Structure 1
Amino acid sequence: MTTAVPAGAGDWAEVLPVGDVLARAAARWPDRVAVDLPEGRFTTAELQAAVLDTARSLLALGVRPGDRVGVLLPNGLDFLRTAFAISTVGAVAVLVNARFRGDELTHVLADADLTAVVTGARPGDEVDLAARLAGALPSPEQVPGLRSVVVLGGEHAALSGDARAVSDGDFRRAADTVAEQRVHLLRRGVAVRDVAMMMYTSGTTARPKGCLLSHELLVRAGAEVGLRLDVRHGDRVWDPLPMFHLSSILPLLGCLTVGATFVSTGHFDPGSALADLARVRPTHLYPAFPTVAQALAQHPDFATTDFSAVRVVNCVGPAASLRALQALWPHARLVSAYGCTEVGGVVAHGRPDDSLDHRVGTCGPPFRGIQVRVVDPETRTPVGPGVRGEICVRGWSLFAGYHGASHLTAERTDADGWFHTGDLGSLDAEGRISFHGRLKDMLKVGGENVAALEVEEVLQTHPAVSIAQVVGIPDPRLMEVPAAFVELRPGARLSPDELLTWLQCRLASFKLPRHLRIVDDWPMAATKIQKFRLRERLCHELGIPDGD
């Protein structure tokens, strides 16, 4: 089955490069608060001024259109002014996952072919990203094109001996050597199909790959997110996710498009977040992932926080979990979403005016101008409504390919331009998307198909269970068997044997986890749990080969 939502009302002729979106917002609403950040509140005019100054500094360092510049910074003004400045002058902002470390970070720094990288930290930040970068930075011989390592916030001992290091003061003073007019000339030369940003896949199943994202993709998707979620001029959208993630970039662009305020946190802490929410009184909550939403809901201050201004909440997850979250905000409309980095981050959002069953049971229909279809994974032929298969996407939201790996792009894009996501899903008769897990999460247990997501959904209906993740591990008799990792709700007590006994009357025997572990921490990549790390951990514990 294929579904496409035609372009309707709305002026797509106004799709602009990323830098122009901010410039237009600053011209239209100079005194409107654009962003509410850990450092303070900044108007569109103030944000634009900071971006222009940073762009001048980058040009003084020799950054040119088409160059790739790494951004390894915490959420805040430095991140935004750097990322926007890079894209404004026609270079490519490589947004580096701040959770990467060691070999993973070294791989990204070497693979991205960077001209410069910008890092730093605010006083009191939980993680010293500059030190992490210094420990993973490839040698000059490995990355001959990397000329500058900018350290915002002052000198940093870990990089003091590196000839490529540029201090905060030197970086800011360099702006004085470049006229602002030069920035505007370059901004006007940027085309919407040019690459604006590069983001590395989260690494939940394999070594991260750089995804090339155009200005058009980012700006259109941001506008569509805002339109679908009914974000209006003057609204306040709270988003606690890291800024290197599209679940921050797209809502931010949507806010700039209409003159709303984007509210971001630093390191997410549920208690601090609830205090911010009480202060801001947002109209929209964008936790996006159940780990964030459940942390809020389980905090003792949740019950006394005023959410009366909230109209829309966005979160993904199993239907039972979303239904429970909807009950926490009964006056608001909870919706879900579908997407991945390669298809533009988000290609579908639930409609706030849809029924509760549709809002918690599906991800909504695709955005205007995007086609989605579901195909049989083996034959690649379309399947009918309600039939599960691989989700494929075609349209303006597709990435421009994997950086330096055109063969991988070709492997996942067929001759008709459909990108094969590797996601298991279905479409209803009206074209709404339902996500059923990753195809690689479809376990083969003694010849029987077992969807990891199905087992996770059942586990999460237990009143003591907060989060559940299921992986397949090798088994000499059945090929592979399910293994479950479970985090309990605060104060809950439950043994693995008790949980397995509870499961036995709720799942077929071949779907039951053969191994179950209670955990209190997760291996994370951005906002996603790294299932391959869970599998590696258990295989090592059991003394069996990982088999993946």
Structure 2
Amino acid sequence: MTTSLPSYASGTSEVPLLGDTIGDNVDRTVAAFGDRDALVDTTSGRRWTYREFQADVNAVALGLMGLGVEKGDRVGIWSPNCPEWTLVQYATAKIGAILVNINPAYRVHELEYVLRSAGVRVLVAARAFKTSDYAGMIERVRPNLEALEHVLLLDGEEWTSLCANGKSADPAALAERSASLSPDDPINIQYTSGTTGFPKGATLSHHNILNNGYFVGELCGYTEVDRICVVPPLYHCFGMVMGNLAATSHGACIVYPAPSFDPLATLNAVATERCTSLYGVPTMFIAELAEAAFDEYDLSSLRTGIMAGSPCPVEVMKQVIERMGMTEVTICYGMTETSPVSTQTRADDSIDLRVSTVGRVHPHLEIKIVDPETGLTVPRGEAGEFCTRGYSVMLGYWEEPDKTAEAIDAARWMHTGDLAIMDGDGYVKITGRIKDMVIRGGENIYPREIEEFLYTLPDIQDAQVIGVPDAKYGEELMAWVQLRPGAEPLDAQALREFCTGKLAHYKIPRYVHIVDEFPMTVTGKIRKVEMRERSVELLGVDAGDR
């Protein structure tokens, strides 16, 4: 009797893990590629070679040491994307301080929670961005925070003085500090956006994020000639690890098109800086492709890139390959707690695999898919919870051992909460979140499957499916739909007619809500929790008309 292989895979690799700290690694890159471009900020027109970048990073590092920042002290950064964000990232790594990434969208109560939870001693921040008065919010919470000693506004005298003082300080002090650091030291706290309660601080080491960035870059084929357009927010792993660290570990150039996502600025940056790689979540690529002026930009330099952060619609992925020329584009899957990437498609994978899976296990990692009830590994081809183990798993949630134990089991497997299927060749499909699953009249429904189908309707630009309360079935399906410019109006009846005969009857959305945009986090992830809340309100008023 033959038995199916278990849904388990390990990432073998002839390329060893890096044993560096982040500071040592970037110094090695400077030694090899000092005169090459390291960083370009298209908004301000500023640019750095690797040697210039090293000099400014060292100045910020020495400036922070001059404020008394010790190894293990927490330094917060609260700003949209800008070069100073990156200088602080590498400077804190060089002195062993723990960088606390603060979501640019946070409001007062969230800011105070993170600063208090992490015990932030020094906060570097933009003065304001869009409608957010960062300086004002900081002043409101500062009296309540005993640990917070210094606030450095990026356009303020304190920041200018810190950089100036660092440039005149003794570099031997920095060398001595850097030599005392271990790759296993905590170096970064990233607060994950919880759906209930306050966020948890995923604590990551040099070893975690440097290696993850490095191997993301390896699978994208990066060398010193690559130029990476980093669109996602730096406060998130997508920006600071998959973008910054993938670049600096290969001598590639980082290009920031705008402080926050702007589709035209992104297309312009790719064209003018001749970027070879472009990053984004699916909603970003959808917006870029929908620009009326899209065809006016020369994107012929693009070779690769990454779509990640949320499931990538098949039709969008095909357009990215065909219209943007990103023939080697990859899909990555992961989460903040795993530094972040656990699986990635390869450049030589077929288009079908690259549009229908999140690839295979990353080098030096293990993955498995388990029955959420028993914890046992399921056979290949069966759905279960995706788990991963290896160098990338976080040290834990900052000062929350109980929460850590809920996520990481005794064998150091990280339980992601994502539902997945592994095929016979080890390729993984993410089918939904355990908590996103809709149960309608006893039938388990995964919104992802329905969303993929709705993308095939020509007039639909984007679609998100959620479950809403229903007296008869427990839950009913509701589709939020974003139409293409110039599309014919769409109502629930027309959408149901399109689905009839193509989807099982219980998978056809009962309700349809047309929107111009979806509620999103700053990283571009759809906020389905907010969609459900708003849908309950909408249906409470209009349910009788649908």
Task: Provide TM-score, normalisation by structure 2.
Answer: 0.91
Q: Which residue of 1 aligns with 2:510?
A: 514
CA drift of 1:206 comes to 5.5
> Equivalents in 2 of 1:177, 1:312: separation in Å?
41
CA drift of 1:445 comes to 0.9
Correspondence list, 1:141-540, <5 A: 141=144, 143-154=145-156, 167-175=158-166, 178-203=169-194, 207-249=198-240, 250-266=242-258, 267-287=260-280, 289-316=281-308, 317-330=312-325, 332-497=327-492, 498-525=494-521, 526-540=523-537
In the comparison of the two structures, how many residue pairs are matched?
527
Matched AA of 1:241: P
Moved more, 196-205 or 410-419: 196-205
Residue 69 (str. 1) matches residue 75 (str. 2): yes
**340 and 205 in structure 1: CA distance in 2 versus 1, 3 angstrom threshold:** farther
CA drift of 1:274 comes to 1.4
Q: Which residue of 2 aligns with 1:159?
A: none
Residue 114 (str. 1) matches residue 120 (str. 2): yes
**8 Å contact 1:468–1:485 — kept in the other structure?**
yes
Please list the CA deviations of residues 476-503 of structure 1 after superposition, one character each: whole Å capped at 9, or x if unmatched: 2222222221212222232333323323
**472 and 192 in structure 1: CA distance in 2 versus 1, 3 angstrom threshold:** same
**132 and 18 in structure 1: CA distance in 2 versus 1, 3 angstrom threshold:** farther
Q: Which residue of 1 aligns with 2:143?
A: 140
Correspondence list, 1:74-89, <5 A: 74-89=80-95
> Equivalents in 1 of 2:387, 2:317: separation in Å?
25
> Equivalents in 2 of 1:459, 1:304: separation in Å?
29
Unpaired segments ≥5 residues, structure 1: 156-166
CA drift of 1:2 comes to 4.1
Which SS does the other structure have where 2:462 is aligned? Answer: strand
Matched AA of 1:56: L
Q: Which residue of 2 aligns with 1:44?
A: 50
**8 Å contact 1:205–1:530 — kept in the other structure?**
no
**209 and 253 in structure 1: CA distance in 2 versus 1, 3 angstrom threshold:** same
**8 Å contact 1:119–1:129 — kept in the other structure?**
no
Moved more, 394-403 or 19-28: 19-28
> Equivalents in 2 of 1:320, 1:113: separation in Å?
45
> Equivalents in 1 of 2:182, 2:539: separation in Å?
54
Moved beyond 4 Å, runs of 4+: none
Task: Provide TM-score, normalisation by structure 1.
Answer: 0.91
CA drift of 1:538 comes to 1.8
CA RMSD of aligned residues (A): 2.1
**99 and 72 in structure 1: CA distance in 2 versus 1, 3 angstrom threshold:** same
Moved more, 94-103 or 304-313: 304-313
Matched AA of 1:148: H
**8 Å contact 2:210–2:245 — kept in the other structure?**
yes
Which SS does the other structure have where 1:528 is aligned? Answer: coil
Choose the corresponding residue for 1:21, options 19, 25, 44.
25
> Equivalents in 2 of 1:261, 1:240: separation in Å?
14
Percent sequence identity over matched residues? 33
Matched AA of 2:285: A
**331 and 420 in structure 1: CA distance in 2 versus 1, 3 angstrom threshold:** closer
CA drift of 1:321 comes to 3.2
CA drift of 1:205 comes to 6.0
Q: Which residue of 2 aligns with 1:164?
A: none
> Equivalents in 1 of 2:142, 2:218: separation in Å?
46
Q: Which residue of 2 aligns with 1:161?
A: none
**8 Å contact 1:5–1:371 — kept in the other structure?**
yes
Matched AA of 1:523: P
Matched AA of 1:92: I
Q: Which residue of 1 aligns with 2:97?
A: 91
**8 Å contact 1:75–1:242 — kept in the other structure?**
yes
Moved more, 193-202 or 295-304: 295-304
Which SS does the other structure have where 2:533 is aligned? Answer: helix
